[in-house]
Amino acid sequence: PNGRLLKVTPSMLAAHKTAPDDVWMALQGKVYNISAYIPFHPGGEKELLRAAGKDGTKLFNATHPWVNVDGMLEECMVGILVSEGEAKV
């Protein structure tokens, strides 16, 4: 991370859903650029990309609540998820 975390709204998130180079996903309130991780997902790219550009928390928790996404994707964090209209500081 570069120390600058973005406030990301759902519509900003939805603008980043183009695999393989531009995929963001919100998980547990944090927004990650998961592009680099896509080929490494043990559950496959297709499953992972179901939540491309979206909040994948429910799908994530339904499949593997034990996976430590914070630890795995720390370097890929781009910001925090906020509600629409809350983006500009």
Which residue in the set 69, 78, 79, 81 belongs to the binding site for ligand HEM (CB under 6 A)? 69
Q: Which two tokens stand for residue 19?
A: 């695999």
**Residues between 16 and 45 with contacts to ligand HEM, criterion CB under 6 A:** 25, 27, 34, 37, 41-43
Q: Which two tokens stand for residue 40?
A: 């490494």
- The residue assigned the tokens 């928790």 is 61
Listed in sequence order, the residues at least 6 apart from 14 whose beta carbon sits closer than 8 Å to its beta carbon are: 53, 54
The footprint of ligand HEM (CB under 6 A) covers: 25, 27, 34, 37, 41-43, 47-48, 50-51, 56, 59-60, 63-64, 67, 69, 72-73
